[in-house]
Amino acid sequence: MNTEPVVIVSAARTPIGCLSGALSTLTLSDLCSPVIKDVLKRAEVKPNEVSEVIIGHVLTAGQGQNPARQASVAAGIPYSVPAWSCQMVCGSGLKAVCLGAQSIQAGESSVVVAGGMESMSRAPHTLQMRAGVKMGDVSLQDSMVADGLTDAFHSYHMGITAENVAKQWAISREQQDVFAVSSQNKTEAAQKAGHFDQEIVPITVPSRKGPVEVKLDEFPRHGSNIASMSKLRPCFVKDSSGTVTAGNASGINDGAAATVLMSQSEAARRGVKPMAKIVSWAQVGLDPSVMGTGPIPAIRKAVEKAGWQLDQVDLYEINEAFAAQSLAVIKELGLKEDKDINTNRTKYSIPTSCCFCDAFKVPLENPPHCHGSTIHKVLQTHIINAPSGQYNISSSCQNFLNPLFGDVRFPKPNRIHKLTSKYSYKEPRAERRWNLTI
């Protein structure tokens, strides 16, 4: 067993496309292969130097055998290189990264491409007709909902789990809407400032009028405000107790993300400057009826493994499947709640007074099985240009069992931009601390 640290030397993602949007006509290999090509180019790794490709992916119905291998070959990686898909629901992308690190530490691989991909738009409707229908009607089943968005243990939608979280942690509709509007507005500000440009690989989509280049995330809703957000009706609990709406939940989207992993000595041999060093990760199981709160025990476990303290973390990036889920994590971990003096609205910050990164995930999540890698990439783009963040943690709430958690150290950061509630930047403290992505 090789205990040498594993480093991330490059990472990138596609734009996030809406359901039936700009990326919806692409096969998974057409969606993911440009990202694999790009991260290999950034890392100065030739396709035949890759040892293994691991891609997180869940909605496999109708996608053909081993979609990860399809994407690998389409990216120019030889047939001789093994490639496989892993499935851990929303944690699949991060799990792929951890599996890649384990493969390197076990001495099985030297260079691994790891990431996630999902085309929710291409998930088919299915019909149970293998044995025929002897009498009566038969209904089509949406495989996207059945395999990706329904809790298999309680047979209800993920939105109900968010309602459960909101009720158990006493999170109001107003709190969720304020959080979601802040998320949308921060993403809008980051898009306009070009903060995502470096991480996005433009995707060329064929059309009747010729190829179209897609390079912007589709789902963010510019101009979001509380007045319009508060008018939306609850989606999952229709009576007056419902709080989860289409506005304070993540979208149904398409996208892919990838990273290149290698040992620290391999990176030094190649003369490649690492973006990050993987320090530790942890997995936990919990009651799937409140699946979004998995990051709470997972974060604590991973922090303990790394020898850190929660109050030593400078920067938190929190995955946002639902605003209720994110707020529960914030609340349970004891992050500071205060008021924005300019708007008098509730905001959340870290006890060490740091703010969140440029973009929240309500506008960027859910291709559910690539968003773990997307979180990694958003945070890396933010931190590698930054002054005091030396450590980061990524986690993903998973739909059924095990929220995944990985710790990443960013070497020699130069400067951190901290986006305040006014969407203006301020410089951080000078000392080196830690950064946390959830």
Q: What is the pLDDT of residue 338?
A: 45
> Is pLDDT of 141 > 70?
yes
Closest by CA position to 435, among listed 376, 370, 372? 376
- Is residue 197 predicted with pLDDT exceeding 60? yes
Give the pLDDT score at 422. 31
pLDDT digits (tens, 9 = 90+) for 348-387: 433 322 333 333 445 565 555 554 445 444 444 444 444 4
What's the whole-model pTM score? 0.85
322 - beta bridge partners?
249
Least confident of 97-106, 136-145, 153-162, 384-393: 384-393
Alpha-carbon distance of 410 to 189, in angstroms, equals: 24
Flag whether pLDDT at 236 surpasses 90: yes
What confidence score (pLDDT) does residue 364 get? Answer: 63
Rounded Cα–Cα distance for residues 325 and 302 (Å):
19
| CATH architecture assignment, domain 6-124+145-396 | 3-Layer(aba) Sandwich (3.40)
DSSP 41-57: HHHT--GGG--EEEEE-
pLDDT at 305: 86
pLDDT at position 313 is 66
The answer on pLDDT for 23 being more than 90 is yes
Higher pLDDT, 419 or 215: 215
Share of the chain above pLDDT 70, in %: 75
What's phi and psi for 29, nearest 5 deg? -65, -40
Rounded mean pLDDT of 217-243?
94
Task: State the chain's mean pLDDT as an integer.
Answer: 81
Tens digits of per-residue pLDDT, 239-283?
A: 889 999 999 999 899 999 999 999 999 999 999 999 888 888 888
